[in-house]
Amino acid sequence: MRRGRKRHARAALAWLLLTVAFGLLIGCSDEANPPAVLPPDSADSAAGITDDGVLGEANDAAAKPFVIKTAQTRMGASTGAFYEIFVRSFYDSDGDGIGDLQGVIDKLDYVADLGFKGIWLMPIQPSPSYHGYDVTDYYDINPDYGTLDDLRRLTEEAHKRGIKIVMDLVVNHTSREHPWFLDAAGGTGSKYRNWYVWAEDRNLDTGEAGPWGQQVWHKRGDSTYLGVFWEGMPDLNFDEPAVRRELIKIGQFWLNQGVDGFRLDAAKHIYGDFASSAADPKTSERNVEWWQQFRSGMEEVNADVYLIGEVWDAPHVVAPYLDRALDSGFNFDLASLLIGAARMERAPDLAGVLNRMYETYGTRSGGSFVDAPFLSNHDQNRVMSELAGNVDRAKMAASLLLTLPGNPFVYYGEEIGMHGAKPDERIREPMPWSASGDAEGEANWEPSYHRQPGVSVEEQLADPDSLLNHYKTMLKWRNEEPLLGDGGIAAFPIANSGVAGFIRVWDDDMALVVHNMTGDAQVVDLQANGTVPFARIAERSKEGTSLADGKLELPPYSSVLLKP
């Protein structure tokens, strides 16, 4: 994902960030951000992308030419869609009610058949909490989940199927039950005392609030320690060189077990501890400097290591982390945009939004970042609950997600429309594999509060029109059309607020993607802004889609990919 690496045969090719211009516009779904207008140029008459970056064709002298101006910008190469798994809730191989690593192995064919090329494992290390984000041993596997041998078998079996494994790594803090912290709490004579932040040792003000106004100082005996997220999660001290050396050693250990990279929890909170300093650019610089050091250590073991960070903030805050540190940052702003568009059945300005982001990311990363779009994760309400149970809208949210650049991430169960809303336990419920709910392999570590009729893998695999099979269709498109992962994106204005259109281009390949976000059939005049080269339907999500004489007919809630 970084400069000079080869993720696949075409990774050396430049991505294309596109600026689109049309002569004589008749309208756009986002009137506040219309594309620039360029005058027709009779010289732009050759079909395809020419040496000067111009695409266009006019059938006769009176026809308005459709023109795309392209500006090449280096970006990293995508590797495919990732599937986020909460092991505890996924599949139980031994009948104890708790999902485990062998259960993930047992379901690798399911993940591969869906079309995923990667798996993100939520925390799998020992922890006193059900979620695992407070680690007590960085060199072992939670015994509820299995053993190191199980993990090694999982990575081997996944790799046989062309699936990469990324594991959650939580280094901002440990558990208060970690041996390091227990020793450090004993007093200033502890070897590990300076591995944590103690107010008394530094004469720090314990009255200062955390980044979102929370209490961050907690008592332990006669001492007071820093724990930004919770008293059970004491923060590590990254000013201590021994801490940095140990965490790099830990990352290298897991790479040597066969994992391909890490999802890095709370990546912007390494130094972002207080309300007064969280937004300070120097805080970001210190965070980035650590992740650059971490990346360097990981590349000693695996030059192609994939690092994706949780930096839940605006693009200008995310961008510095992509400078020789992280490959990707989860695109939280985009997730809200996609869910909102599906809910309102309105076309979002995806090309405009993404190209502004990508310009920022590309500049800071030297062109080596990879976007990481998603709809939901383990910290957010599930898509189906956000969309009030509307399966058609959930399909359109998935269609938007899976036709955008980068490595998209899908939370387990979203492909079958699991419901779930806060508190956290209710967005992390056991995966429904069977209609009955009591079949072999179903986890039951907690009751399924949100379980719905018809929402199981068994039922949806048997239904060709199910949400699960829609995900399979869209992932198939993505895997068969490399430009959907690696291509640039450009606007294609459509004078219908319920129909989204954008162009994807990679090298000498291009496609027009159109989504009917609404429950009504729609007809789109593709020639409204000039003669276009997209003359055939390469992929369609529904029967009844047709293209004739430049008129594209779309059934309700449907998607199409057009090629020249």
How confident is residue 43, by pLDDT bands cut at 50, 70 and 90? very low
Is the model's pLDDT at 90 over the cut of 90? yes
The angle that helices 350-365 and 332-344 make with each other, rounded to 10 degrees, is 170
Angle (CA) 48 516 543, round 5°: 85
pLDDT number for residue 330: 98
pLDDT number for residue 74: 57
Strands 261-264 and 306-309: parallel
Angle (CA) 460 445 395, round 5°: 25
For range 144-156, the mean pLDDT? 98
Instruction: Name the percent of the chain lying above pLDDT 70.
Output: 87
Cβ contacts of 195 within 8 Å, gap of 6 or more: 180, 181, 184, 236, 237, 240, 242, 243
How confident is residue 5, by pLDDT bands cut at 50, 70 and 90? very low
For range 242-267, the mean pLDDT? 98
Cβ contacts of 127 within 8 Å, gap of 6 or more: 133, 134, 135, 136, 142, 175
Q: Would you state the structure tokens that stand for residue 155, as one six-digit string?
A: 């990575």
Instruction: Name the percent of the chain lying above pLDDT 90.
Output: 80
Is the model's pLDDT at 451 over the cut of 60? yes
Cβ count near 243 (within 10 Å):
19
Q: 321-354: per-residue pLDDT in tens? A: 999 999 999 999 999 999 999 999 999 999 999 9
Angle (CA) 314 329 123, round 5°: 120
Amino acid at 155: T
CA distance 144 to 100: 7
Question: Is 273 annotated as catalytic?
Answer: no
Strand, helix or coil for residue 536: strand
pLDDT number for residue 534: 93
Cβ contacts of 235 within 8 Å, gap of 6 or more: 172, 173, 196, 197, 225, 226, 227, 228, 269, 273
pLDDT number for residue 265: 97
For range 182-204, the mean pLDDT? 96
Asked if residues 199 and 237 have their Cβ atoms less than 8 Å apart, the reply is no
Strand, helix or coil for residue 552: strand
Q: Considering Cα of 537, then 62, then 25, then 523, what sign does the dihedral take?
A: negative
How confident is residue 273, by pLDDT bands cut at 50, 70 and 90? confident
Range with the poorest average pLDDT among 123-127, 204-208, 373-377: 204-208
pLDDT number for residue 63: 57
For range 410-439, the mean pLDDT? 96
Is the model's pLDDT at 61 over the cut of 80? no
User: Across-strand partners of 537?
Assistant: 562
- Write the burial class of residue 453 (CB in 10 Å: 0-12 exposed, 13-18 middle, 19+ buried): exposed
Q: Which of 44, 92, 100, 310 is catalytic?
A: 310
How confident is residue 71, by pLDDT bands cut at 50, 70 and 90? very low
CA 93 to chain centre: 28
pTM of the model: 0.90
CA distance 260 to 1: 12
Cβ contacts of 487 within 8 Å, gap of 6 or more: 15, 16, 405, 504, 505, 506, 509, 510, 511
CA distance 395 to 468: 9
Strand, helix or coil for residue 20: strand
pLDDT number for residue 487: 87
How confident is residue 68, by pLDDT bands cut at 50, 70 and 90? low
pLDDT number for residue 130: 98
pLDDT number for residue 76: 85
Is the model's pLDDT at 16 over the cut of 80? no
**Mean pLDDT of all residues belonging to the chain:** 88
Is the model's pLDDT at 70 over the cut of 70? no
User: Across-strand partners of 24?
Assistant: none
Q: Which of 84, 92, 134, 265 is catalytic?
A: 265
Is the model's pLDDT at 62 over the cut of 80? no
Is the model's pLDDT at 6 over the cut of 90? no
Is the model's pLDDT at 136 over the cut of 60? yes
Range with the poorest average pLDDT among 51-65, 406-420, 528-542: 51-65
pLDDT number for residue 529: 82
Q: Name residue, tokens 């010289």.
A: 43
Is the model's pLDDT at 36 over the cut of 60? no
Question: Is 310 annotated as catalytic?
Answer: yes
pLDDT number for residue 419: 98
Higher pLDDT: 487 or 150? It is 150
How confident is residue 60, by pLDDT bands cut at 50, 70 and 90? very low
pLDDT number for residue 437: 87
